[in-house]
Chains A and B, each alone.
Chain A
Amino acid sequence: MIGNLEGLFLMPEKGIDEETQGVVTLVRRWADKEVIGDRLEYRRNYPSRFDEKRKTLFLAMGLQRLAVPEEHGGFGWHTPGRMRHVLRVLTEIGRADCSTGVLLAMNCALFTVVTRFCDGRNGLTDSLASSYLEDEMKTASCILTGPGHAGRETPLFKGRSILARAAAAGESATVSGEDLRPLAAGLAADRFLIVCADSDGSPCLALVPVDAPGIARSERVKAAGLDALANADISLDAVTIPKDHLILDQDAVSYLSACLNLMLGGVSLGAGLNFFEIVSDWSDSRVIKGGTVLKENPLCASVLADTAEEIACAGFLLHDLAGIMPLTDHPGPSGMEAVYTYSAMIGAKAQQGIMRAINRGLELMGSAGYAREWHAEKHWRDVKTIQSIMCGTGAEAPVKMDIARFFYNCSEI
């Protein structure tokens, strides 16, 4: 049964060609052989094993180039029509290890946004792509909007504070901001894609390499999950970047958010699927009340059903979201704005559903679910971390405001 996840968790297959299926199969083999089949060792020596396995995936298998355009030597999975395929790959990786999935998701989001919004500025795509073709692992991180500080007015993106500022001057631009919190991997990242406010206060994106003078990082932030992705706050003191590293288009911010909701949803979905495998094993082999196999007890069966139901529904929602990504090409409210809203809505729903699935399944595993040995608790911590960072701030309230704004034309919330 466990080898038949696809037979149990039905997903729309539309548009999955042979090449895509080949990549997905390859990644699944990596997940099974390199990580899932070697869990004990992977857990004991996590930092070194993480780097080693990631290197296999990113460099030996070439997935670092997944979203690099084909004409630049990549797989070319950066277009809206390819999002369904990216989702499949990230799900397979999330099944093995969320941290690896989050890193690839941020890399993919970077290329997806840059290639789309840098028309006529091929220099940026060229230089970015060529660095990703090198035999060296690359780590991109994203800094989105966040909570502001009381008493300090900031420009806003859909109610959320934009904490970094960008100003173009001649052929360069400067970026500033204090104590910015990346989504993950702030200590390891070699470049940041940062939501900024331009000189008019409008949202834009800046791509900032970490070797630019004026960047300071805090000490490592200890976090609930994603243990391999050491995070740190970033301060930018008038950091100079080439002007073409600035994307002065609000839609780019919306698109980045939509891509991350989809991609990180895929990572969490993978973790949920592996949790399902773990809890299936458990419920097959444990007895209660002196002899009843766990899954044959009606109460336990209903808890198991909750787990499967939440994961299956999250998977369906995310695949549907991937299917509407091409709508971002449409002009008007049915285009970028709609996809942004749907991605926020589905991203939150999927993360909540997967989190609930794991929380319910842990109830059956009792203490074993809490022990690192069974790996269930790692998925629980990792998915919660992803869920919280994608909330941004204020729990579901900002997303509810996005939804209300879109569906009811609210203008003051």
Chain B
Amino acid sequence: MNGFDDFSRPMEYISPLDRHFRSVLRRYIEQEVMPFRRQYDEDWKDHAIIEPAFDKLMGELGLQKALFPPEHGGWGITRSDYIFRFAYMLCEELGRADTGMAVALAVTFWPLLVILVEPFVNERLIAEFAPMFCNTKKAVFAANAMTEPQGGSDIENMGLLRGRTIRTTARLEGDQWVINGHKLWPTNSGGAASLFGVPCTTRPGSDDLNDFAFIYVPAGAEGVTQGGPYEKAGMAADKNGDIFFDHVRVPAWYRAHGPGSDAEAFYQLIPFGQVASSAFLTGAMMNMYERLNEFVSSRTYRNRPLKENDAVAAIIGRIAGDIDICRILGHEAAMMGDRRNKPYGLPLTSEELVGKIRNIKDFISDRAVENFGKAMDVLGLYGPDRDWDIEKHWRDIKIIQLWMGGKQLCQMESARYFFNCETV
């Protein structure tokens, strides 16, 4: 094997943009992120080192424009038939360097996908928000303000709960929505985001999907209060905090689509989030392979390189084998998303597609958590050492297993589809 690029992926799935764009992106990341990432943990609050890297990637290179149509200054990726595969490539490359940075970028796309992906397109809102992201060289973040204090991941469990537990309310007064509620933990909160996508209910306690509303709220709107970033085990590049909406007023047309359609468009975010999560993990694992390979080639057991000991080789062989399998599965998940427009594809809201993609993400998460732990043990004394980078990924990627409902919701969505469960 020549290097980490040789981990398998179905070549017929690769998008036309992949080769060229990946090399440009990699060059940026290797210059602007990887040399500095060991300092990111201490920069979790201020982002004094992290922010310039975001400016280069999102502003100067222009990644934050990628989704918007060309007529608004964007790259038009949402109009292509390879948005999932493009996202996979982007998230994998960034994940190789820093999954916190990868998620901060990907989540900027997340609320915007609700209005940018056919069949749920809202031209007026696109025209409203595109300049914020396309007319600047500075990084601009968006956030999906979903999780609420009482419900944990209930919001992602739309298949079962259908928005019944949402307590953030939206009330229509004249030509304005009035929003009240408390959200916590969104990626790019803690003061980072300029725009929030906020899932709300127009009738608290209702499980009628017509009462689910997805409304955009500029971070500077009156009545929006953000807490400072939480201190966490890792993922320093991703700020998370509390957001309070206190009688926040936004124009009525800031609602994504309307009754029924909002829920469907929002539900599409689940496959996007799970595919991106898979890509963060395979990218991080590819970097783990790079560092692990260096260690087992240069350090010894019984005076022979670790990799030449049969027992150690069995361990690292399994790790590399898992990375290979996970990368293939991750690309398959991305391709499932991109088949949505094809006659043989499934809509992003189908239980089958959601169940299968969640299943893949759950599998890759488990393999990543286990293999990063194992790789640290291979390094032994040097496993917890930040200079070897593996411990940083180990701390960072644990949250990927936990978010979006975590492992248990993945298992339930999988069971729902494969066994026709009705109550779990």
Contact = CB atoms under 8 A, between A and B. Distances in A.
Partners in one complex: yes
Interface of A: 146-150, 152-154, 156, 159-161, 181, 183, 221-226, 286-290, 299-300, 303, 355, 359, 362-367, 369-373, 377, 380-381, 384-385, 387-389, 391-398, 400-401, 413
Nearest to B411: A299
Query: Which of A362, A389, A397, A400 is packed against the most chain B CB atoms within 10 Å?
Result: A397
Given A384-B373, A395-B312, A373 B230 contact: yes
Interface of chain B, helix or strand or loop or mixed? helix
A394 B233 contact: no
A401 B391 contact: no
Interface string B287-325: 000000001011111110110010110110000000000
Contacts of B26: none
A380 B157 CA distance: 27
B385 interface: yes
Contact of A288 (B152, B369, B398): B152
B282 to A, nearest CB: 20
B402 A387 contact: no
Interface in B163-213: 164-165, 185
Interface stretch (B51-59, B113-121, B272-280, B374-382): B374-382
A170 to B, nearest CB: 32
Give the interface centre of B147, B383, B387, B424 by most chain A CB atoms within 10 Å: B383
Q: Of residues A377, A392, A394, which shows the largest number of chain B Cβ atoms within 10 Å of its Cβ? A: A394
Main SS class of interface, A: mixed
Contact of B380 (A156, A159, A223, A392): A392
Contacts of A387: 377
B379 A289 contact: no
Contacts of A147: 295, 299-301, 306, 380-382
B280 to A, nearest CB: 15
Interface string B401-414: 11100111001100
Given A159-B302, A287-B150, A384-B376, A377 B232 contact: yes
Contacts of B306: 147, 393-394
A144 B320 CA distance: 29
B233 A181 contact: no
Given A222-B386, A395-B312, A389 B394 contact: no
B161 A224 contact: no
B61 to A, nearest CB: 29
A222 B387 contact: yes
A395 B378 contact: yes
Interface string B213-233: 000000000000000001111
B38 interface: yes
Contacts of B383: 224, 388-389, 391
A120 B306 CA distance: 41
Nearest to B319: A395
A410 to B, nearest CB: 11
Contacts of A369: 402
B73 interface: no
A400 B313 CA distance: 13
A409 to B, nearest CB: 17
A206 to B, nearest CB: 19
A371 B153 contact: no
Contacts of A226: 384
Contact of B301 (A159, A225, A289, A384): A159
Nearest to B42: A222
A283 B402 CA distance: 16
A390 B234 CA distance: 23
A373 B373 CA distance: 23
A299 B412 contact: yes
Interface residues of B, number: 64
Given A363-B401, A367-B240, A397-B301, A391 B377 contact: yes
B387 to A, nearest CB: 7
A363 B165 contact: no
> 5 closest pairs, A vs B, by CB?
A388-B383, A393-B380, A147-B299, A148-B300, A395-B377
Contact of A393 (B299, B402, B406): B299
Contacts of B41: 222
Contacts of A161: 300-301, 303
Contacts of B301: 147-148, 159-161, 393-394, 397-398
Contact of A394 (B153, B165, B309, B373): B309
B402 A367 contact: yes
B165 A290 contact: yes
Interface in B360-376: 369, 373-374, 376
B35 to A, nearest CB: 16
Contacts of B165: 289-290
B83 to A, nearest CB: 27
Contacts of B305: 150
Contacts of A401: 311
Contacts of B401: 363
Nearest to B374: A395
B230 A181 contact: no
Given A300-B408, A370-B398, A393-B378, 10 more contacts: A146-B380, A223-B384, A224-B386, A289-B154, A366-B406, A371-B231, A381-B395, A388-B383, A393-B301, A394-B378
Contacts of A367: 147, 185, 240, 399, 402-403
A394 B154 CA distance: 41
A148 B164 contact: no
A154 B303 contact: yes
Nearest to B372: A384
B385 A303 contact: no
Contacts of B147: 367
Nearest to B296: A394
Nearest to A155: B303
B302 A303 contact: no
B303 A392 contact: no
Given A223-B386, A290-B151, A370 B303 contact: no
Contacts of A364: 406, 408
Contacts of B380: 146-147, 388-389, 391-395
Contacts of A370: 232-234, 398-399, 402
